[in-house]
């Protein structure tokens, strides 16, 4: 296999305050192959967003801190870069889009300026050139009247249009990696499909690898080449999408799979797994899924299982399989 584009090793991101230590991300490993889509799934609070923000080194400070790990992107460990060097990577070789298109765009700046400033920053374009390119970018994400949109403000756009504008912004410098944190969760179902199609076509055109974070296994099934399943700040299973869907090994992944029909029916996501995600401030000492696991045995509550490679490329954090 070719050298991975991104290699994450033992990433730990904690929120540390005087009274508590929240282990939002607790020793995560995964890889992203060039031009491929890696899906990250998991229930709310499992650490998906903090993992992705850690890759961009945008964990909200001062409490949030990456305490350990390596994030090797195109051969360099991003965690060792200075803030200034890191800002050369952000928006340039690595772009990011967020869940809430309503709040993720600056309400008082024109859409064109918000796209253009990326090009001015990383491509050293003049204002006029940046505006011209912004129009082209907006057109490439499906705006028919791009010339007008550049001079409009975010509140004049619908949610789906805003998310397209966000994508145009993140793709402006044709990054090698796009991180999309629940890019469609806030959108209508039909708009969701359009935005996902757009991301797919941009990926195919530019060869951009994507980390796609979602609650929605349907989205993963449609988009992802590889899948990482997260639970309690850890990776519990990672493999190719085919392997995860055809032959899920971890009891949590199996439970997720069984919950798919529920997703389709009333969009009440993952409701079929009884119990709740443990608080990241206070994890159980053994396997973090054990309290909700139907197969759990005495030993599961005592010892934290290691992430083991059970089949080539298929990793599972469960001692029972």
Partner 1 sequence: MTSYVIRRLLGLIPTLFIITVIVFSLMHLMPGNAFQALIGLNPHIKDAAKVIAQRTANAGLNLSWPQQYVNWIVNLLHGNLGTSFEFQEPVTTLIGIALPNTVTLALTAELIILIIGIPVGVFQANRVNKGFDISTSLVAVFLYSVPGFVFALFLIFLFSFTLNWLPSMGTVTAAVPWSGDLGDRIQHLILPATTLALPSVAYYTRLMRANTLQVFFQDYVRTARAKGLRSTRVLFRHVLRNAIIPITTQFGFDIGGLVGGAVILEQIFTWPGMGELTINANLNRDYPVILATTLIFAVMVLLGNLFADILLASMDPRVRYN
Ligand X SMILES: Nc1ncnc2c1ncn2[C@@H]1O[C@H](COP(=O)(O)OP(=O)(O)OP(=O)(O)O)[C@@H](O)[C@H]1O
Binding of ligand X at residue 156 (CB under 6 A)?
A: no
Binding of ligand X at residue 24 (CB under 6 A)?
A: yes
Compose the 45-64 pattern: x for residues touching Mg ion by CB under 5 A, - for all others. ----x---------------
Residue 155 interacts with, from ligand X, partner 1, Mg ion, none (CB under 5-8 Å by kind)? partner 1
> How is residue 37 written in tokens?
């889509």
Binding of ligand X at residue 44 (CB under 6 A)?
A: yes
* Residues within the interface to partner 1 (CB under 8 A): 56, 58, 60, 83, 87-92, 95-96, 98, 100, 103-109, 117-118, 121-122, 153, 155, 166, 169-170
> How is residue 18 written in tokens?
């005087």
23 and 11 Cβ atoms separated by less than 8 Å? no
Residue 26 interacts with, from partner 1, Mg ion, ligand X, none (CB under 5-8 Å by kind)? none
The H or E element that residue 308 is part of is: strand 308-311
286 and 302 Cβ atoms separated by less than 8 Å? yes
> How is residue 64 written in tokens?
């949030």
- Sole binder of ligand X in the list 6, 32, 37, 50 (CB under 6 A): 50
Nearest residue to Mg ion on Cβ basis: 49
Provide the minimum distance between the beta carbon of 231 and ligand X in the complex, in angstroms, as a whole number: 10
Compose the 9-48 pattern: x for residues touching Mg ion by CB under 5 A, - for all others. ----------------------------------------
User: How many Cβ atoms from other residues are within 10 Å of residue 230's Cβ?
Assistant: 24
Residue 24 interacts with, from partner 1, Mg ion, ligand X, none (CB under 5-8 Å by kind)? ligand X
- Sole binder of ligand X in the list 4, 5, 6, 15 (CB under 6 A): 15
Provide the minimum distance between the beta carbon of 97 and partner 1 in the complex, in angstroms, as a whole number: 8
| Angle, helices 189-206/159-171, rounded to nearest 10 degrees | 10
Provide the minimum distance between the beta carbon of 70 and Mg ion in the complex, in angstroms, as a whole number: 23
30 and 238 Cβ atoms separated by less than 8 Å? yes
Provide the minimum distance between the beta carbon of 167 and ligand X in the complex, in angstroms, as a whole number: 19
CB-side exposure of 129: number of CA atoms within 13 Å? 9
* Choice between 137 and 178, CB closer to Mg ion: 178
What is the dihedral angle through the alpha carbons of 309, 311, 317, 321, rounded to the nearest 10 degrees? -130
> How is residue 74 written in tokens?
């195109």
Residue 286 interacts with, from Mg ion, ligand X, partner 1, none (CB under 5-8 Å by kind)? none
DSSP character for 66? E
290 and 315 Cβ atoms separated by less than 8 Å? no
Bridge-partner residues for 90, per DSSP?
Answer: 94
Give me the phi and psi of 304, to 5 degrees please.
-70, 120
Instruction: Give DSSP secondary structure letters for 4-60.
Output: PSEEEEEEEEEEE-SS-EEEEEEEEEEEE-TT-EEEEE--TTSSHHHHHHHHTT---
Q: How far apart are CA 26 and CA 24, in angstroms?
A: 6
- Sole binder of ligand X in the list 1, 18, 60, 108 (CB under 6 A): 60
Only one of the segments 43-51, 128-136, 193-201, 203-211 lies at the binding site for ligand X (rule: CB under 6 A); that segment is 43-51
Residue 22 interacts with, from partner 1, Mg ion, ligand X, none (CB under 5-8 Å by kind)? ligand X
Binding of ligand X at residue 278 (CB under 6 A)?
A: no
Residue 39 interacts with, from partner 1, Mg ion, ligand X, none (CB under 5-8 Å by kind)? none
Residues that bind ligand X (CB under 6 A): 15, 22, 24, 42, 44-50, 60, 63-64, 215, 280
């Amino acid at each position: 296999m070719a050298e991975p584009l991104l290699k994450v090793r033992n990433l730990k991101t904690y929120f540390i305050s005087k009274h508590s230590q929240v282990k939002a991300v607790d020793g995560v490993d995964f890889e992203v192959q060039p031009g491929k889509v890696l899906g990250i799934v998991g229930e709310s609070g499992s650490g998906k967003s903090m993992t992705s923000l850690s890759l961009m080194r945008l964990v909200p400070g001062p409490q949030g801190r990456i305490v350990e790990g390596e994030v090797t992107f195109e051969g360099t460990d991003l965690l060792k870069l200075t803030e200034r060097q890191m800002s050369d990577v952000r928006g340039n070789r690595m772009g990011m889009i967020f869940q809430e298109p309503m709040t993720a765009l600056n309400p008082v700046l024109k859409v064109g300026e918000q796209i253009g400033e990326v090009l001015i920053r990383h491509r050293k374009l003049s204002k006029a050139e940046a505006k011209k390119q912004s129009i082209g970018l907006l057109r490439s994400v499906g705006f028919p009247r791009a010339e007008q949109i550049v001079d409009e403000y975010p509140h004049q756009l619908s949610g789906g249009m805003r998310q397209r504008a966000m994508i145009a912004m993140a793709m402006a410098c044709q990054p090698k990696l796009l991180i999309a944190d629940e890019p469609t969760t806030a959108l209508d179902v039909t708009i969701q499909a359009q935005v996902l199609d757009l991301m797919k076509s941009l990926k195919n055109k530019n060869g951009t690898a994507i980390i796609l974070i979602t609650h929605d296994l349907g989205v993963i099934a449609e988009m992802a080449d590889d899948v990482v399943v997260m639970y309690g700040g850890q990776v519990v299973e990672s493999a190719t999408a085919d392997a995860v869907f055809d032959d899920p090994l971890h009891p949590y992944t199996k439970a997720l799979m069984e919950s798919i029909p529920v997703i389709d029916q009333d969009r009440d996501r993952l409701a079929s797994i009884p119990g709740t995600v443990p608080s990241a401030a206070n994890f159980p000492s053994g396997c973090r899924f054990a309290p909700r696991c139907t197969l759990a045995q005495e030993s599961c509550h005592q010892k934290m299982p290691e992430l083991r490679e059970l089949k080539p490329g298929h990793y599972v954090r469960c001692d029972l399989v």
